[in-house]
Structure 1
């Protein structure tokens, strides 16, 4: 069995990569370690979306193990997430992809991550010509995320301007053999775009998380790193990992940081990552000693900090993309038994928190600070929270379970499609 995985924007296999693997990387690792009978080609980019650096100077084929090949394409890179440079990079990657796939042996199935739109369209076109199934792994509501950034009175203009892209996206889901959603909500949206009912190729697989992506020596080094930075006076610590951009309500968080400082609450905020609003946040809190901005951190540093923290922060704005998702960072927190502070009570994550008591939902700065004060005064059972989180994680988000089922579904789709071809022969 031969599988093509088409995904850019994730950390890839490389000796210098210290970032944790994401969805395609974890699936690839699972296959490498457990299924020598499955050949995988991962089509990706030479550019790191997270560090904004080229991992390889040129387009390159990398053989990893006996049954895995990674083809990394150089599209030029970009400095900002929202930029014409990024559009150019993605277009370049797609143009090279369309040429290079003609040089490779035909796979039995393609799994293409959405976004990006160009790679999905090219993968679908190839699958149609070669009569093979293609699954679209639906992870982000795009281009809706850009419409969400437009002020409400002008959203209709955004929908008009982006209509050509919206139509292309709808056609991707219409022409795909099946759709894999990260939640039921995402799958429902995709089927609505495709104007069809669920079929045997469609399925939902959450963003499973892979633990222990580091060595013992790296973990010791990470513990020492935080030991030199964090305050011994803090009785409560809140951590965050991810993009510091316009998708999160940072204004409320900055307000809470300032109030906690003014009220001399023994609370420490550690906000890891980078993004378009990082410099603004640093500027607004520059005179406060209860917040740190370490930048990007490694997998070992993430785990170490989670073990030293009391809450993991999910501060998303109320947008459709986040209301229908259980974000990867929330699953990351759960992997360490860390309670979640979540801004979206009416989201899928908010419902999970309410139903299974794995954290707290907040609406504004007052409710956020109320949770902090409850925690400082030991007004809830932390051990019970942790037990609940571990149970939810092990049953629903453990990477081995998620990606074993994910691969089984891919195999079933190949069988379904082969049977269909025989009937039509």
Structure 2
């Protein structure tokens, strides 16, 4: 979005945390500002490094981000519009408070159902101890929704959820934009290096293996344990025909490796570069969406859906809701029962037996991708909507002179 808005002639400031959430690394040791060669300004807000996705340390880090934003934003040129991703809760509220104080239109883009999913993952004494924090976050969410100029979301379900939580009716500026993967392909030199990497790993496009993959954060929000246990259950003959590639790091990394340590057909590739994932997807026959069917994911198209379809891959999943409905309707899904390793094993065998249909499904997948997840269409539409919000909120201004601030 920052790049697209800059290409459209806007002055863009992208605010982010110093913490790289996926890699658990610091991008910078203090709050810093830099001009990017892509044509926008990047502000990194200091937050402490935290070891786990669900942790007190992460909450503290997000509070630090919000405080740094509140401190720094008034010292910089005032923008004409703000786009803010949600979560984190704390930064979204800080951005709305700043926007209200300066009479700036602000669009909040809902990508996760916080704090609801936090409450769903606590129980017993932990849930009791979390009551004050949940009460605070719920108040923050209501304030954010009620005072936002526009409520956006990755699906209509997310928009409706946010509006309901803020006791607000849907208006003409409230709408959904599906997640879309950056369409810029990796550099040719990076692709060559990635080709060599996967060749050395034994994941070759010329092999007779049926190759499936998942690439992402290995968090406890994913049903990856069932996936690995199901792959372990496969008959010997099926194991010889299959390759299951799991890329990424996260809270489940060690346990998953232990479960699959004696299985040559299960490959744990660790955290891989964008070019390596690009090449891997084009060597695979199917992608895996192993999310639990929680309230947020059943009304969601996780970014893996568009990523796999864009590579021409059908999808194996235990997820219900929007994803399953889409895949069933388009004939692009292989389904198993969530939490059932025997069901996973049967699903993997079904995929192996279905290999003659991969070519036809590739074409179907690309068609669905162009229809629903094409970044060229989505990003352009998103930019036009932000320009419309800015013009609606400040009709006396020339839209071409607007300087969206992307968060």
Q: Is the 8 A contact 2:4 2:383 kept in 1?
A: no
Unpaired stretches in structure 1, ≥5 consecutive residues: 1-26
* 2:364 aligned partner: 388
Deviations along 1:380-416, whole A, 9 cap, x unmatched?
Answer: 6222211111111112212111110001000111122
- Report how far residue 320 of structure 1 moved: 0.8
Q: In the alignment, is residue 240 of structure 1 matched against residue 192 of structure 2?
A: no
* 1:139 aligned partner: 111
Which among 341, 346, 360 is matched to residue 370 of structure 1?
A: 346
- Report how far residue 128 of structure 1 moved: 0.8
* 2:261 aligned partner: 286
Which among 299, 314, 317 is matched to residue 342 of structure 1?
A: 317
- Structure 1 stretches of at least 4 aligned residues deviating more than 6 Å after TM superposition: 153-156
Instruction: Give the whole-Å Cα distance in 1 for the aligned partners of 2:219 and 2:14.
Output: 29
SS in 2 for 1:408: helix
Which among 378, 384, 389 is matched to residue 402 of structure 1?
A: 378
- Report how far residue 262 of structure 1 moved: 4.6
SS in 1 for 2:233: helix
Most deviating of 362-371 and 131-140: 362-371
Instruction: Give the whole-Å Cα distance in 2 for the aligned partners of 1:66 and 1:229.
Output: 34
* 1:305 aligned partner: 280
Which among 104, 120, 125 is matched to residue 148 of structure 1?
A: 120
- Report how far residue 261 of structure 1 moved: 5.7
Deviations along 1:345-373, whole A, 9 cap, x unmatched?
Answer: x3111111111122222213344333332
Root mean square deviation, CA, Å: 2.3
* 2:325 aligned partner: 351
Instruction: Give the whole-Å Cα distance in 2 for the aligned partners of 1:257 and 1:222.
Output: 26
- Report how far residue 154 of structure 1 moved: 8.8
Instruction: Give the whole-Å Cα distance in 2 for the aligned partners of 1:65 and 1:268.
Output: 40
What is the 5 A alignment of 1:248-263?
A: 248-260=222-234, 262=236
Instruction: Give the whole-Å Cα distance in 1 for the aligned partners of 2:372 and 2:129.
Output: 37
Instruction: Give the whole-Å Cα distance in 1 for the aligned partners of 2:317 and 2:209.
Output: 20
Greater RCO between the two (CA within 8 Å, min separation 6)? Answer: 2
Q: In the alignment, is residue 325 of structure 1 matched against residue 300 of structure 2?
A: yes
TM-score, structure 2 as length reference: 0.90
- Report how far residue 158 of structure 1 moved: 8.1
**Closer, same or farther: CA 30–66 of 1 in aligned 2, 3 Å:** closer
Instruction: Give the whole-Å Cα distance in 2 for the aligned partners of 1:323 and 1:146.
Output: 16
Q: Is the 8 A contact 2:334 2:351 kept in 1?
A: no
Instruction: Give the whole-Å Cα distance in 2 for the aligned partners of 1:158 and 1:416.
Output: 44
* 1:181 aligned partner: 153
Which among 135, 138, 141 is matched to residue 163 of structure 1?
A: 135
Instruction: Give the whole-Å Cα distance in 2 for the aligned partners of 1:109 and 1:71.
Output: 16
Instruction: Give the whole-Å Cα distance in 1 for the aligned partners of 2:377 and 2:247.
Output: 28
Instruction: Give the whole-Å Cα distance in 2 for the aligned partners of 1:81 and 1:228.
Output: 32
Q: Is the 8 A contact 2:96 2:106 kept in 1?
A: yes
Most deviating of 231-240 and 117-126: 231-240
* 2:56 aligned partner: 84
- Report how far residue 64 of structure 1 moved: 2.3
**Closer, same or farther: CA 372–40 of 1 in aligned 2, 3 Å:** same
**Closer, same or farther: CA 118–407 of 1 in aligned 2, 3 Å:** same
* 1:5 aligned partner: none
* 2:402 aligned partner: none
Instruction: Give the whole-Å Cα distance in 2 for the aligned partners of 1:242 and 1:353.
Output: 21
Instruction: Give the whole-Å Cα distance in 1 for the aligned partners of 2:355 and 2:346.
Output: 11
Instruction: Give the whole-Å Cα distance in 2 for the aligned partners of 1:308 and 1:302.
Output: 10
* 1:190 aligned partner: 162
Instruction: Give the whole-Å Cα distance in 1 for the aligned partners of 2:212 and 2:226.
Output: 14
